[in-house]
Amino acid sequence: MPLKLPSKFHYLILLSLFLIYLYSTSFLRQYSTQTTTTTISTPLSSTSTPCNFFKGRWVLEPKSPKPLYDENCPFHRNAWNCIRNKRENMGLINSWRWVPKDCDLIRIDPEVFLGFMRHRNIGFVGDSLNENFLVSFLCVLRAADAGAKKWKKKGAWRGAYFPKFNVTVAYHRAVLLAKYEWKPKGSAVASGLKGIYRVDVDIPADDWATVTDFYDVIIFNTGHWWGYDKFPKETPLVFYRDGKPILPSLDLFDGLQVVLQSMVSYIQKDVPGKTLKFWRLQSPRHFYGGDWNQNGSCLFSEPLKEQELAMWFDPSNNGVNKEERMVNNMIEKALHGTDIQILDFSHLSEFRADAHPAVWLGKKDAVAVWGQDCMHWCLPGVPDTWVDILSILIRNMLDTR
């Protein structure tokens, strides 16, 4: 005769099974939540440790993915469209991949990035090297929104609106950042000269000062116009503060130092606190045998070696391209103690003497008039790597706010 269990015992068994079920489902929910959190908080580089994207080496990868755009990008500037201009070795130029020292650099996914930036705007302010950077960025992002339209509102020199994501990315030309204007011969301040360029060190250029509240991210630069080739002694820069000439008068690089200090102070005080601010350091030039107006050339077929960089760029060697590191030192001092993030693309770009437009400028007689272009970059090219790095930094920094 089977043993009959007490009814209380049945009750205890059912209660135990119910409690086990509750525990197991609660555990699974907790585990699932922890896994999602870990994935979201994983850095956008491929390692869990902080990554210095600016130190590393170029590795030749002949089977590396093709660039995200070609010569048909509508945002190209003709002189940098090296595929259309039939520049030699463009396939090789874009087969070199930048590998940071302690981590991998993941190529931007334009769809993901624009989705992250939805309803936000990115501005570039500075000289034509920031324009070079911008054009790369626009062409890369267009891969995710073929309906992107040219945009030149709010005083922008060049830009694009991406309607699928409601994102604007634009460039405002302000080569000195500070306000400056030409004063011709015959005016009181240009006595004995062909004329001068008056620079008000304490007044930002109108081209950008009135639009900073429109942008959620701004990338600044200056430095490439600060040379005697642009402002010779016959037509010098003359520096003013509070509407009066600074006395004793400043030479060009002392003036740059004062402008940097004033513009950084203005950015800290007047650019909205919500804005993520970057400053791109100098993009190196690669003129060999003379400057741009002295038949300098950059017809190289591969990147420079690490041991060659000092010969090209160390100021103590007094080379044609020495100003890059000199100006960078001044910029870094001016930015010390601020919340402006440094984009140090200088070192990774120093290697790439092979990646400039050189003689392939897209216009007849351009080289005879302007010389080789060993300053700007072919597109697609090196600035696409700048875009990869910037996109990661923007996402990481906005994610942590």
Could you tell me the pLDDT band of residue 38, with boundaries at 50, 70 and 90?
very low
Q: Strand, helix or coil at 379?
A: strand
Average pLDDT, the chain: 89
In tens, the pLDDT along 253-301 reads 999 999 999 999 999 999 999 999 999 999 999 999 988 888 899 999 9
- For 97, the 3-state DSSP assignment is strand
Question: Is the pLDDT reported for residue 1 higher than 50?
Answer: no
Write down the pLDDT at residue 46. Answer: 40
Alpha helices in 247-306 (DSSP H): 252-270
pLDDT band of residue 49 (cuts 50, 70, 90) is low
CB 197, CB 157: distance < 8 Å: no
At 202, is the secondary structure helix, strand, or coil? strand
Q: Is the pLDDT of residue 86 over 50?
A: yes
Write down the pLDDT at residue 68.
Answer: 98
pLDDT at 61: 95
Which pLDDT band holds residue 5 (cuts at 50, 70, 90)? Answer: very low
Report pTM. Answer: 0.87
* The pLDDT of residue 287: 96
**Average pLDDT score over residue span 310-337:** 94
Rounded mean pLDDT, 66-70: 97
Please enumerate in sequence order all residues whose Cβ is within 8 A of that of 196, keeping only pairs 6 or more positions apart, or say none. Answer: 182, 183, 189, 190, 235, 236, 237, 238
pLDDT in tens, 174-215: 999 999 999 987 666 666 788 999 999 999 999 999 999 999
Q: Worst-scoring range by mean pLDDT, 71-75, 133-137, 231-235?
A: 231-235
Residue 17 has pLDDT above 70, yes or no: no
- What is the percent of the chain where pLDDT is above 90? 78
**pLDDT (tens digit, 9 = 90+) per residue, 151-185?**
999 999 999 999 999 999 999 999 999 999 999 87
Please give the average per-residue pLDDT across 15-28, as a whole number: 45
pLDDT (average), residues 385-395: 98
Measured from the Cβ of residue 365, the count of other Cβ atoms closer than 10 Å reads 8
Res 16: pLDDT:
52
- Supply the pLDDT for residue 400: 87
pLDDT tens column, 335-378: 999 999 999 999 999 999 999 999 999 998 899 988 999 999 99
Strand locations in 127-220 (E): 149-150, 158-162, 167-173, 178-184, 195-204, 217-220
pLDDT value of position 189: 67
How high is the pLDDT of residue 187? 66
Amino acid at 316: S
Whether 42 has a pLDDT exceeding 50, the answer reads: no
What average pLDDT does this structure show over 32-41?
29
| Helices 128-141 and 382-399: angle between axes, nearest 10 degrees | 80
Q: Which residues contact 399 (CB under 8 A, 6 or more apart)?
A: none
pLDDT at 77 over 70: yes
Task: Work out the percent of the chain whose per-residue pLDDT is above 70.
Answer: 86
Distance CA 235, CA 231 (A): 6
DSSP letters along 221-243, please? ---TT-STTTS-TTS-EEEEETT
Q: Could you tell me which of 94, 87, 71 has the C-alpha nearest to residue 357?
A: 87
Helix, strand, or coil here: 118?
A: coil
User: Do β-strands 244-245 and 237-241 pair in parallel, antiparallel, or remain unpaired?
Assistant: antiparallel
The pLDDT value given to residue 188? 60
**Strand 276-280 to strand 217-220: parallel, antiparallel, or no bridges (unpaired)?**
parallel
What's the confidence (pLDDT) of residue 300? 97
Q: What is residue 190's predicted lDDT score, i.e. its pLDDT? A: 64
